[in-house]
Structure 1
């Protein structure tokens, strides 16, 4: 059994429905309870989605009124005419890209059908219901929770997982410890999906914002995770431990300890170049197994250079709570 929970959208839907009825009833509109239906249909998870929902439902409802006037007034208020009208009406709104407004438009159409007389007063009544229903939905949906704190929490959790992953790599390179089950990688992937979804939702709650730096940050981390997943087999399947493993372990140790520091990706790429130079000066392998081990380690540091390059290309953002640039993190 799922945990009982009342979220922001549920509260806004309930408040909006009640408010729409009160307003519609205050203006003595017919079918005043339908204003609540129109409101409920337009309360969405983000401001942009809510605005789009109002647009599609408004356009579809107006087209529905036009179809109702032509079909019902000229051919009669009977079920056959209504069915034929809907048969033509649905493809029309689909072709115009407002099919999402079908249910709302049917509410209006059925009002007209039940009255069996398309009058000026009825037209004003339906327009009033739409104004109240759609307007109330927009009003209640203008409030959205602040995702800043939650996104910062995701950021911290993901970076902690990256630090743990690097630490496990160091353990293996130094001690040959292969007891790690890799759960941090799975957790990181799950958190990144949730974090990107939340960041995207934050974009949808700002009409003038086309991108969210948190979203770009999490996307960058996701690309880095793909590299980590790709390079792990290169070092966890070393046939033997060679001298170069200790050199790579020292670099990874420093990298893991500075995930939250002020060191830039550029700084660590320079250190990685030094590692490559030292790597090249080491004695050539004596056996085939050592050659394979050295080759895998060199491929690993090349991949880590790409890992850092991805981070270096990120333009960064500033956390409101920490007042510190995320670009300073690796």
Structure 2
């Protein structure tokens, strides 16, 4: 069994230590509850941490006020406690504070156990909540950057794209290939993991929206869908017409240019030249030639969409940079 201590575990341990030490130093009743609240509020992203903390604080405050009023009015009995929870939980959910149900329940049980609503008890519970949530927020300020792993994912995906395009060109030329397509399934995995990581990295940015990686992987995901659609058509045109060699050359050149830099205008121009060449060809004389020519036309159309997807991202980045400079 592999034993591993992650950064979140370390943050939680430190948070428990700090929250317990502060609440104990202040001689608060049930001081261990501050540590429990801290554990509940430790999160994987900064934005989620702020949202969770607000939910828990608001729910706890409501729980304290309402429970003290109802218990004092109806009594400190199990029936009243059960009735309160039946009404309180849907109320909290309706206010969209459902993430605070567990924490507020802990505080409500404290009040029920003391069986005496006083200002001192209210302040005790409020301090436990503030210390627990405040400590968690402090711990959540540290979030390790995923920049390095995102760059690794980016490089691996580009390498896979390059190999896939090269294998397409090889198949068109030779009609056979020893390629087993492992990069296809590997790219699916990489795109899924990289997008999730990019979302998490974006949610760790509080003062700025840094989502260039997310948009990049989203762009590659759309391009990959096109590559998957091309596969059955690629297998129908190997060596069948003279234009297949031109397409193979185009795919091989494209495979060498898979990178973040903008080569789109050049390759769109090459596609347009191939289209003009096809228009000048004589009409197909056999069914097989007609089907191959149709497949070639479809492949060129999909390759144009493949390039335009990247071009749209490039233009979007330029527009964003212009707006930033303007303001």
State the number of aligned residues: 317
Matched-pair contact (CA < 8 Å) for 2:241–2:289: yes
Check 1:141–1:170 CA distance in 2 against 1; reply closer, same or farther (3 A cut). same
In 2, Cα distance between equivalents of 1:238 and 1:143: 55
Matched-pair contact (CA < 8 Å) for 2:257–2:263: no
**Unaligned regions of 5+ residues in structure 2, if any?**
319-327
Report the equivalent of 1:243: 242
TM-aligned CA deviation for residue 210 of structure 1:
4.0
**Unaligned regions of 5+ residues in structure 1, if any?**
319-330
TM-aligned CA deviation for residue 175 of structure 1:
0.4
**RMSD (CA atoms):** 1.7
In 2, Cα distance between equivalents of 1:258 and 1:223: 18
Check 1:313–1:248 CA distance in 2 against 1; reply closer, same or farther (3 A cut). same
Which string of whole-angstrom CA distances, capped at 9 and with x for unpartnered residues, describes residues 67-101 of structure 1? 21111111111111111111111111011011111
Q: Secondary structure at the match of 1:313?
A: helix
Give the stretch that moved more between structures: 62-71 or 279-288: 279-288
Q: Does 1:254 align with 2:253?
A: yes
Instruction: Compute the TM-score of the two structures, normalised by the length of structure 2.
Output: 0.92
In 2, Cα distance between equivalents of 1:288 and 1:245: 17
Instruction: Compute the TM-score of the two structures, normalised by the length of structure 1.
Output: 0.92
Q: Secondary structure at the match of 2:313?
A: coil
Check 1:317–1:160 CA distance in 2 against 1; reply closer, same or farther (3 A cut). farther
Report the equivalent of 1:194: 193
Q: Secondary structure at the match of 1:144?
A: coil
Matches within 5 A, 1:133-152: 133-152=132-151
Report the equivalent of 1:98: 97
Report the equivalent of 1:73: 72
Q: Secondary structure at the match of 1:282?
A: coil
Give the stretch that moved more between structures: 234-243 or 14-23: 234-243
Report the equivalent of 1:311: 310
TM-aligned CA deviation for residue 303 of structure 1:
0.6
Which string of whole-angstrom CA distances, capped at 9 and with x for unpartnered residues, describes residues 192-243 of structure 1? 1111111111111112334501100100000001111112111113486221
| Runs of 4 or more above 4 Å deviation | none
Give the stretch that moved more between structures: 144-153 or 277-286: 277-286
Report the equivalent of 2:323: none
TM-aligned CA deviation for residue 186 of structure 1:
1.4
Matched-pair contact (CA < 8 Å) for 1:151–1:198: yes
Matched-pair contact (CA < 8 Å) for 2:52–2:99: yes
